[in-house]
Structure 1
Amino acid sequence: MDLSEQRYLSRCGKSYQLPNMTGGVAILPVSGGADSSYLAILLHQLFPAVDFRMVFTDTGTPDNPVEDPGVYETLDKLEEFLGKKVERLIPEKGLFEIIDQFGGYLPDSRSRYCTRILKKVPFEKWLQQFAGLQKYMFVGIRSDESGRVAFSLDEVETVMPFVDMGLTREDIFAGLQRTIGVPRMYEGRTRSGCTVCPFQRRAEHVYLLQRKPIEFLKGERYEKLSDNDLARWEEAIPLWKDTGSSANWLTLPKPEEGEIEGKRASRAPDLFGARIYVGAEFFMDGFPGMGEFCWHQRVVSVAPTLHHLKDQLDDRYQHLLSTSEVYQMSPDDVRRNARFAIYVIELPSAVFDPEGPKDQAFTWTQGWAYKQLRHIVSWVTRALHAEGERQSANRKVRSELSVLAEWRDNSAETLRQAKEELGAVVNSQWYRANENEREMTEEEELSYLPCPMCSL
């Protein structure tokens, strides 16, 4: 433990004292996420003589896992760092089996039966071993989470050390960086939990589709949609597969300068019948005398309105700042090298329909379907890759014998070989994301607020 860590613990120890737990039991639910993991580390460091009982309540089974793989990686790291086991409660039937029992009816904000059956009931059953004893449950609610609430159980006193210490999200992630590291799942997720959790943001669903398509398809199969809606959302063929070129994920176009006007990507009056706003991220870097280069880029999210897309990019930027370690960057690296782009993509209505379900539907997120999102992301990615190839094909080169000339010609050939629609980038701009956390609307808070029991 270095000197800075010792000083940090000394400050925390002076500002926080445990309740009098004589004759009681100290319980530490851990979810494999950032808050509960760092709370376990901090309390064990501050109070090594206390026998904290760590417990994790799984929502999947070994044969059919549901939690993000990063959850289990973090639990393993936590056990190794503390030299102590986390008690893992494994259900006989996981989330998807429970959904089958409910006739395929998906959980949502009005019916969180998944939490009750897979989290609350097993946890209460585990607590029965301490019947008659006062129980002190330590939960990782931070001081900057005004909208998040804890839960109450009989004979259980809920304790929130982060609130008492005044620790925020920034403090928790800094603490993880000093100890077991920020969980890898925070590349694209804002919290731990099921891969198909209905309380994820749209950008998180896009990340799931890009990085873990099998898990995305598991969720998609459980949605109930009409044949009419399903027929509207055919997936686009990737440009590399359509043209026989090599798969290249570094061909998103660099935006043009200028503002994107209008509040809604409304239908165009010509044969291009559908438009949508798309946000992308670029990580840049460079060496002295060699110029700047891009080492990471991807589509982050999509939205029918510019305002909502900007909100999503602001959220993404703030998340990157607090989890920069997962990309081997510092917050200052993110401020210096992360860039965001906004595009208006236009595609023929014969192949592209970004609107949500028109008939009665049961989906993970109200108004959005997994197949709809897969349809949108596939087509806008294809359109953006095509525009990137157009930029490359129009590149001015100094010598026809240079590698740049070869790349230019390959891009032109790729466009000639395309058999399906390519669409168009109607407008584009660089976007300077806001570092200050915004206030969510009441609708957003209801959509994204996780159940307190999901911290178990």
Structure 2
Amino acid sequence: MHVLGLSGGRDSAALAVWMRDHRPDIDVRYFFTDTGKELPEVYDYLGRLEGFLGKTIEMLNPGRDFDFWLAEYGHFLPSPRTRWCTRQLKIQPFQKWLKPHLDAGVEVHSYVAIRADEPSRSGMIATHPNMHVHFPLREAGLDKASVIGLLENSGLGLPDYYRWRSRSGCTFCFYQQKIEWVRLMREHPDAFEEAKRYEKSAIEHGSPFTWTQNESLEELARPERVAEIERNHEERKAQALARRMPNSLRARITDRTVEQMLADEDSGCLVCHK
């Protein structure tokens, strides 16, 4: 049994395309673990990818949604230090899906989208003797530029949310940059308001966390604060561009390139964003 998890993001999509083109001998089962709180653009891209691959993407539903687990955790929001959302809504449904196969003696090969330019990332570690984890992008020497080129050359392109956001994942992912919260407020105001409601309830229940560090979304949404965030972001972009050594052989630096440089400076969740 061969499985490949899709996040709705760039790297896992590129891995799916690479497997189709380079390992047509393998019957890969593609899956997506649906939290029910994904960006609309993620579902759109999965539909495009499904058509491109000519195969159904299996949707793993955790059965108990974000609201259930939020109540179980005392209405405390997940955070980089307490990532219960990843564990309960991503990892456990995947493990539950595979368990009957592994226990029956089936050899499971899981393909993970870690690139060659990510030496410090290890991916999900196999915890069962019948589980084998592979990193085709790394083994093929494909870095970020190669992944983007692969998707563009295939005609599939990048997910639409990369226009305003650097990663896939839930609408209220706590790994978002503050500028991305501002953009979420503009691109999907209903999702932003839902995130505010979750945060308000969590604070009322004594949660020590807000979605973004050191301020609530109510505070972040104030016009003067939005202007400050946008100004700070432009300054960070200018600094990132200045740090990048000029190289005539390097591809032209675009605004999207600089945005991704800033995103790469921040940590992220490998399970959700790849």
Fold in common (TM above 0.5): yes
Write the distance in 2 (CA, Å) between the matches of 1:209 and 1:38: 29
Deviations 1:264-309 (A, max 9, x none): xxxxxxxxxxxxxxxxxxxxxxxxxxxxxxxxxxxxxxxxxxxxxx
The Cα shift of 1:455 comes to 5.2
- Is the 8 Å Cα contact of residues 30 and 455 (structure 1) preserved in structure 2? no
- Is the 8 Å Cα contact of residues 240 and 261 (structure 2) preserved in structure 1? no
> Which consecutive unaligned segments of at least 5 residues does structure 1 have?
1-24, 61-65, 228-358, 385-427
**What's 1:45 paired with?**
21
Deviations 1:369-416 (A, max 9, x none): 2111101457639xx9xxxxxxxxxxxxxxxxxxxxxxxxxxxxxxxx
**What's 1:434 paired with?**
241
- Is the 8 Å Cα contact of residues 134 and 156 (structure 1) preserved in structure 2? yes
**What's 1:161 paired with?**
136
**What's 1:177 paired with?**
152
Write the distance in 1 (CA, Å) between the matches of 2:57 and 2:108: 18
1:374 and 2:193 correspond: no
* Corresponding pairs, count: 246
| 3-state SS, counterpart of residue 222 of structure 1 | helix
Write the distance in 2 (CA, Å) between the matches of 1:177 and 1:97: 39
The Cα shift of 1:94 comes to 2.1
Write the distance in 2 (CA, Å) between the matches of 1:94 and 1:360: 19
Write the distance in 2 (CA, Å) between the matches of 1:98 and 1:226: 16
Q: From the superposition, tell whether residues 432 and 449 of structure 1 become closer, same or farther in structure 2 (CA, over 3 Å).
A: closer
The Cα shift of 1:159 comes to 0.8
Write the distance in 2 (CA, Å) between the matches of 1:360 and 1:58: 25
The code of the aligned residue for 1:171 comes to S
| 3-state SS, counterpart of residue 136 of structure 1 | strand
Write the distance in 1 (CA, Å) between the matches of 2:191 and 2:163: 16
Deviations 1:177-209 (A, max 9, x none): 122111101111212110111111122212111
- Candidates 96, 103, 113, aligned match of 1:140: 113
The Cα shift of 1:215 comes to 0.7
Matches within 5 A, 1:191-230: 191-224=167-200
Higher normalized helix content (fraction of residues) = 2
By relative contact order (CA 8 Å, sep 6+), the higher-ranking structure is: 2
> Which consecutive unaligned segments of at least 5 residues does structure 2 have?
245-257
Write the distance in 2 (CA, Å) between the matches of 1:105 and 1:197: 14
The code of the aligned residue for 2:107 comes to Q
The Cα shift of 1:361 comes to 4.6
Write the distance in 2 (CA, Å) between the matches of 1:361 and 1:374: 20
The Cα shift of 1:127 comes to 0.4
Q: From the superposition, tell whether residues 212 and 129 of structure 1 become closer, same or farther in structure 2 (CA, over 3 Å).
A: same
The Cα shift of 1:68 comes to 0.8
Deviations 1:58-104 (A, max 9, x none): 111xxxxx101111111111111111101111233322332133221
Higher normalized strand content (fraction of residues) = 1
Matches within 5 A, 1:358-437: 361-376=208-223, 380=227, 431=238, 434=241, 436=244
Write the distance in 1 (CA, Å) between the matches of 2:31 and 2:91: 13
- Give aligned-pair identity as a percent: 35
**What's 1:240 paired with?**
none
- Is the 8 Å Cα contact of residues 57 and 122 (structure 1) preserved in structure 2? yes
- Is the 8 Å Cα contact of residues 29 and 455 (structure 1) preserved in structure 2? no
| 3-state SS, counterpart of residue 55 of structure 2 | coil
- Candidates 56, 68, 84, aligned match of 2:39: 68
Q: TM-score, normalised by structure 2?
A: 0.79
The code of the aligned residue for 1:173 comes to I
Matches within 5 A, 1:33-432: 33-60=9-36, 66-131=37-102, 132-152=105-125, 153-154=127-128, 155-179=130-154, 180-224=156-200, 361-376=208-223, 380=227, 431=238
Structure 1, 143-152 or 70-79: larger mean CA deviation: 143-152
Write the distance in 2 (CA, Å) between the matches of 1:208 and 1:377: 17
The code of the aligned residue for 2:189 comes to P
Write the distance in 2 (CA, Å) between the matches of 1:125 and 1:226: 32
Pair member with larger Rg: 1
Stretches of 4+ aligned residues off by more than 6 angstroms: 437-440
| 3-state SS, counterpart of residue 216 of structure 1 | helix
Q: Please give the root-mean-square deviation of Cα atoms over the aligned residues, in Å.
A: 3.1
| 3-state SS, counterpart of residue 221 of structure 2 | helix
Write the distance in 1 (CA, Å) between the matches of 2:207 and 2:6: 38
Q: From the superposition, tell whether residues 222 and 192 of structure 1 become closer, same or farther in structure 2 (CA, over 3 Å).
A: same
Deviations 1:17-65 (A, max 9, x none): xxxxxxxx221111111100110111111121210111111111xxxxx
